[in-house]
């Protein structure tokens, strides 16, 4: 395999198959015939085998050593055990998957067969993320989920019994019909579950989901009329920060909380701008140029399944200049509660790029969205709620 270097890489594998399409979902996933699964895995394996050649053509470094791998979607656990086995075998054949690597698979509660769980353990999976979204059965059903609270508890027990204790539970604040009281119930159930990691997202209202389009249109389908107000959603999010923190799940990123030692190593590489290769439908990559010019390549595959399966899929690529990387450093780094180290930014980008950004940061400090002690800059609690407004300041520092 060519085009490789010795640094560590993260692998993201997109599996777009679902049993039902959730109303809030804006990802490139859907309900496809099971007959497509084998064709899709074959295409993924081909992409794994040719990744080095592609990297060499593009002039980017592609580390062989992999220390995080993440299968997302979609519902990766819908793949047949033999397909999962083949996919992981190909990953190990083409890359050096480290013995201590964090290997995460997303699963939908109630959609993890015993044989599939055995295949995941055999493949070395040591972390599972469960898309719960709500522990209130009515709310889960309203948004298209196919599980109930008892199903979640059963799957958590099964995963632990199989030796997978590094578990994440997703919740969404802002689902149709959700109230402050029902949100408190979901938070209490999450804490009671003992999961060492939680992801809490505020409902995104945009045109990329059925629910979002209905809310924007002022319609009533998908219970759009019962979606809480923006202020209520923000209050639910703030409550989650307080409740989870008091229970030992400290916030380390805008949407992520964990017990000590259980932060998602794969997701951290996104915010820390460390290299990753994304394969499959609508998957993104971030790889550094093999030359010393300091550029970074961002690439994204098609979100059209038929086009992807034809194996002639164009990949959208963008080379990021140092100026653009500097902007990314701000809006990605500020997502983390640890914030940004000013000295590290100065060392990487230099005073000419950093000075305008520090001026913008100063304005945001005055506005109450950032806090700074002169060494580290972080979002405030208010800044987390209005993070897109804060990030926009850094996107406007130089023309894209």
Q: Give the chain's domains with CATH numbers.
A: 8-269 (3.20.20.70), 322-400 (1.10.10.920)
Q: Is the pLDDT of residue 232 over 80?
A: yes
**Bond prior to 87 in cis (omega within 30° of 0):** no
β strands within 88-196, DSSP E? 96-107, 127-133, 166-173
In this structure, what token pair is assigned to residue 194? 């003992």
Alpha helices by DSSP H, listed for 111-178, are: 114-122, 137-142, 149-161
Determine the Cα–Cα distance for residues 347 and 221; give it in Å rounded to an integer.
52
Question: Which pLDDT band holds residue 288 (cuts at 50, 70, 90)?
Answer: very high
SS3 81: helix
Q: In 110-267, which ranges are E strands?
A: 127-133, 166-173, 197-202, 250-253, 256-258
What is the residue whose two structure tokens read 């522990």? 135
Is pLDDT above 50 for 1?
A: no
H/E stretch holding 376: strand 376-379
399 contact partners, CB below 8 Å, separation of at least 6? none
Q: Do residues 44 and 91 make contact, with C-beta atoms less than 8 angstroms apart? A: no
- Is the pLDDT at 208 greater than 90? The verdict is no
DSSP 3-state assignment of 132? Answer: strand
- The model's pTM is 0.92
Looking at residue 3, what is its pLDDT?
Answer: 39
292 pLDDT band (50/70/90 cuts)? low
In tens, the pLDDT along 76-135 reads 999 999 999 999 999 999 999 999 999 999 999 999 999 999 999 999 999 999 999 999
Confidence of residue 222 (pLDDT cuts 50, 70, 90): low
DSSP 17: B
Q: Looking at residues 71-75, what average pLDDT do you find?
A: 91
pLDDT at 224 over 80: no
Distance CA 227, CA 230 (A): 9
Q: Is 179 helix (H, G, I), strand (E, B) or coil?
A: coil
Which two three-digit tokens encode residue 348? 């990487």
Residues in the chain: 400
The closest of 378, 397, 265 to 325, measured between CA atoms, is 397
Q: What are phi and psi of 59, to 5 degrees?
A: 75, 35
Q: How far apart are CA 128 and CA 54, in angstroms?
A: 30
């Amino acid at each position: 395999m060519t085009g490789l270097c010795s640094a560590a890489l993260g692998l993201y594998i997109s599996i777009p198959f679902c049993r039902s399409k959730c109303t809030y979902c804006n990802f490139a996933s859907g309900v496809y015939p099971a007959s497509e699964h084998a064709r899709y895995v074959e295409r993924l394996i081909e992409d794994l085998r040719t990744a080095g050649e592609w990297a060499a053509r593009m002039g980017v470094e592609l580390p062989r050593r992999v220390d995080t791998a993440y299968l997302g979607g979609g519902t990766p656990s819908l793949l047949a055990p033999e397909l999962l086995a083949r996919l992981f075998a190909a990953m190990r054949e083409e890359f050096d998957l480290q013995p201590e690597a964090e290997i995460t698979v997303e699963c939908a509660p109630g959609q993890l067969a015993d044989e599939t769980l055995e295949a995941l353990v055999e493949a070395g999976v040591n972390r599972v993320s469960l898309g719960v979204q709500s522990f209130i059965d009515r709310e889960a059903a309203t948004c298209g989920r196919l599980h109930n609270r008892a199903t979640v508890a059963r799957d958590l027990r099964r995963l632990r019994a199989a030796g997978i204790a590094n578990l994440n539970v997703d919740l969404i604040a802002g689902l149709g019909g959700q109230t402050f009281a029902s949100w408190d119930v979901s938070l209490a159930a999450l804490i009671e579950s003992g999961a060492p990691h939680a992801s809490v997202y505020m409902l995104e209202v945009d045109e990329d989901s059925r629910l979002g389009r209905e809310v924007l249109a002022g319609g009533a389908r998908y219970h759009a009329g019962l979606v809480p107000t923006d202020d209520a959603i923000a209050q639910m999010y703030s409550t989650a920060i307080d409740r989870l923190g008091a229970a030992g799940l400290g916030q380390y990123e805008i949407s992520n909380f964990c017990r000590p030692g259980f932060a998602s190593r794969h997701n951290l590489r996104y915010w820390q701008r460390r290299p990753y290769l994304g394969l499959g439908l609508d998957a993104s990559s971030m790889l550094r140029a093999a030359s010393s010019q300091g550029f970074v390549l961002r690439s994204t595959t098609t979100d059209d399944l038929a086009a992807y399966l034809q194996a002639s899929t164009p990949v959208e690529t963008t080379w990021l200049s140092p100026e653009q990387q500097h902007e990314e450093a701000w809006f990605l780094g500020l997502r983390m509660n640890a914030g940004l180290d000013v000295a590290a930014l100065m060392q990487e980008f230099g005073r000419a790029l950093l000075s305008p950004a520090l001026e913008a940061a100063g304005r945001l400090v005055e506005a109450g969205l950032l806090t700074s002690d002169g060494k580290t800059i972080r979002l405030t609690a208010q800044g987390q709620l209005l993070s897109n407004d804060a990030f926009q300041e850094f996107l406007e520092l130089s023309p894209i």
